[in-house]
Amino acid sequence: MNPRILFTEVVYLASSVLFILGLRSLTIPDKARRGMQLAALGMLLAIVGTVVKEEIVTYEWIVGGLVLGTIIGWPLGTRVPMTAMPQRIAISHMFGAVAATLVGVAEFWSKGNGAEVGRGQMAALGFEVLFGALTVTGSFMAFGKLQEFLPSKPLTFKGQNLVSVAMFAAAIGLFGWLIYAPANPLAFFLMVGLGLLFGVSLVLPIGGADMPVVISLLNSYAGLASSATGFAIGNNVLIIAGALDGASGFILSIVMSKAMNRSFGNVLFGAFGAPPPPSEKTSTGLAVHAITPEDAAIQLGFARLVIVVPGYGMAVAQAQHTVREMAQLVEKNGGQVLYAIHPVAGRMPGHMNVLLAEADIPYDRLKEMDEINDEFKNADVALVIGANDVVNPAARSDKSSPIYGMPILNVDHARKVIVLKRSMNPGFAGIENELFYGENTEMLFGDAKSSLSKVVQELKGSAGH
Amino acid sequence: MSVELIQIYVFLLAGFCGFFVITKVPALLHTPLMSATNAISAISLVGSLVLAGSSHGLAARILGFIAVTSATINVVGGFIITDRMLKMFRRAPSAGEKK
């Protein structure tokens, strides 16, 4: 073996090992940072191992791309606020897929428009550009919805699923034909085009509340596209890294779907569509019990155990730092504050944890649903901040509810539930929430941040006396 | 053994390995996990580099250039933001400091 090739192969092997070690370190929060630095080293090694390859005859485009990518990537890493993390991740899936798709297209084109492509390689290339193309546009749509330049409500029209399925079937048909006869540029580029269109029609009808599943799924597709690239150009480190990413996205989508008690198919093709009729409880005009920040402060001041349930509304109101202030005051009074994180709280897996960690809340106070659900009965106050569907008891009892069967946080078991909410508008899924009319529920209306600031002032005032 | 078969071996074993490692990642770190895997899958940079520096002509190099740019955005941005997030996860001060 030529020493250059040997060097490249050894370096690739080392990178693969470092990637796996890096991911493994994420199982232990205290070691995660160090581990991911190792993974970054692995990436650097892979780049070095690649640029010394003999196939590379010119460097200006390489250097240009590396420099431009760094200029764009740097602020995306350092500047993007944690609240914008879901759209940041969505757009990065797009970038990853763009790279994979272009490599696939160029590989096909440079091999005599498919004339020199074998059937095995065509299969890999097909997967690569098909997954790649639908991830490019799908991720961009997800980005648009999360960034809110596209409506986050599901966009649907009659027969949409039929059109989507037909497009996908046509793409698969072309794919099959290409494997049989690869030298067919028309079919190849038509397939890429269909993949792009399919990505749009796949994500547009999906509502904002389902975004955690979509982002996870696109994460998986981006990984699989990378892996297919590895098959197509015969590169093991690509296959390995892509497979790791694919597995991760797949696991996360399963976790998210389970947390909503829905199947993949239901998330992808079962857009909630028309809002369900208002529940009978509201039509009978049950009143809610509204309270003032002062009332809330009194209860929090005397509480022994407060469980905070954050939702996307907390992120929107940027209330996480005020939550920390409130928690410190409760702790000063001798109470304990824990945080109950539902798996689909927020717009992407784990989003709430990141926001609370950013607000300097120690991570051992952040509890997963199964860990904390039995604690609610001991809690004096459950403080629901901008969460709605994840605390809706209809998920337990109301079979006609679209969220029936979804595991929820047992906030209603707490002695008192205080819900911070902007108004009585139903949540994202457009579903009424019985919790708000419950006997032990009190509503604190207004912007979560300003309400909490008032609570904090009250708590401070009472502590001074 | 044919190359394709070895590739399938590698893919399946890596997939299993990923599956077993990642199922153990706590929900606490799911966002960093996603940004981390995203950064790692920007390894398609490797393929993009070869394309951008290849002898296949200008068109291929320009496609390669775009691909290198996109992948580099994910490598640089992805690892930085993952580090930024992981830096924030801290434990509570030890029991001795508690009131």
Whether residues B33 and A26 touch (CB distance < 8 A) is answered with: yes
Flag whether residue A237 sits within 8 Å of chain B, measured between CB atoms: yes
- Using a pLDDT cut of 90, give the percent of chain A over it: 62
Residue A173: which pLDDT band, with cuts at 50, 70 and 90? very high
Task: With cut-offs at 50, 70 and 90, classify the pLDDT of residue B85.
Answer: very high
Instruction: Give the Cα-Cα-Cα angle A81, A85, A88 (nearest 5 degrees).
Output: 100
Beta bridge partners of A367: A340
A207 φ, ψ (degrees, to nearest 5): -80, 165
* Average pLDDT rounded to a whole number, residues A308-313: 91
Looking at this predicted complex, what is its ipTM?
A: 0.93
- Number of residues written out for chain A: 465
Residues 6 or more apart in contact with residue A270 via CB below 8 angstroms:
A262
- Give residue A86's pLDDT: 92
Among A147, A146, A450, A142, residue whose Cα is nearest residue A314: A450
Among A69-78, A277-286, A310-319, the least confident range? A277-286
Chain B residues whose CB is inside 8 A of the A247 CB are: 15, 18-19, 22
- Mind giving me the DSSP string for A143-210? HHHHHTSS-SS----TTHHHHHHHHHHHHHHHHHHHHH----HHHHHHHHHHHHHHHHHHHTTS-GGG
Whether A364 sits among the annotated catalytic residues: the reply is no
| Confidence label for A143 from pLDDT (cuts 50, 70 and 90) | very high
pLDDT, mean of residues A127-138:
95
| Residues 18-47 in A contacting B (C-alpha not used; CB under 8 Å) | 19-20, 22-24, 26-27, 29-30, 32-33, 36-37, 39-40, 43, 46-47
CB pairs under 8 A between A and B: 375
pTM of this prediction? 0.89
Confidence of residue A159 (pLDDT cuts 50, 70, 90): confident
User: Does any CB of chain B come closer than 8 Å to the CB of residue A439?
Assistant: no
Domain ranges of chain A: 1-79, 83-274, 280-464
Alpha helices in A26-84 (DSSP H): 29-51, 60-78
Check residue A274 and give its pLDDT.
40
**First CA to last CA across chain A, in angstroms?**
81
A50: contact with B, CB 8 A cutoff: yes
Average pLDDT over residues A60-77: 95
- Residue A213 confidence (pLDDT) above 70: yes
pLDDT of residue A270: 57
d(CA A292, CA A311): 21
For strand A416-421 and strand A336-341, is the pairing parallel, antiparallel, or unpaired? Answer: unpaired
**Listed residue (B30, B92, B81) closest to A27, CA to CA:** B30
Whether A412 contacts A438, CB under 8 Å? yes
Q: Are B18 and A243 in contact (CB under 8 A)?
A: yes
Say how far apart CA A259 and CA A269 lie, in whole Å: 18
Sign for the pseudo-dihedral over CA of A418, A419, A421, A424: negative
A347 touches chain B (CB under 8 A): no
Report how far residue A233's alpha carbon sits from residue A111's, in angstroms, rounded to the nearest whole number. 12
Supply the mean pLDDT for chain A.
88
CB of B83 less than 8 A from some CB of A = yes
Higher pLDDT, residue A456 or A264: A456
Note the pLDDT of residue A286. 66
Q: What's the whole-number mean pLDDT along residues A98-115?
A: 92
- Answer with the residue of higher pLDDT: A430 or A317: A317
Q: What angle do CA A343, A273, A193 make, to 5 degrees?
A: 85
Q: What is the pLDDT of residue A367?
A: 94
What is the mean predicted confidence (pLDDT) over A131-136?
95
Task: Kindly report, residue by residue over A231-285, the tens digit of the pLDDT.
Answer: 999 999 999 999 999 999 999 998 888 888 877 777 666 554 444 444 444 445 5
Quote the tokens at residue A279. Answer: 């529940």
* Chain A residues within 8 A of B42 when measuring between CB atoms: 43, 95-96, 99
pLDDT computed for residue B4 by the predictor: 83
- Give me the catalytic one of A245, A380, A389, A398: A389
Taking residues A55-71, report their average pLDDT: 93
DSSP state of B93: P
Q: What average pLDDT does this structure show over B6-17?
A: 94
CATH code of the domain occupying A280-464: 3.40.50.1220
Residue whose token pair is 């824990």: A338
Residue A157 reports pLDDT greater than 80: no
Among the residue ranges A190-199, A455-464, B58-67, the one predicted with the least confidence is A455-464
* CB pair distance less than 8 Å for B41 and A226: yes
pLDDT in tens, A329-375: 999 989 999 999 999 888 888 999 999 999 999 999 999 999 999 99
User: What integer is the mean pLDDT of A194-206?
Assistant: 90
pLDDT for the residue numbered A427: 53
Which segment of A70-79, A91-100, A245-254, A389-398 scores lowest on mean pLDDT? A389-398
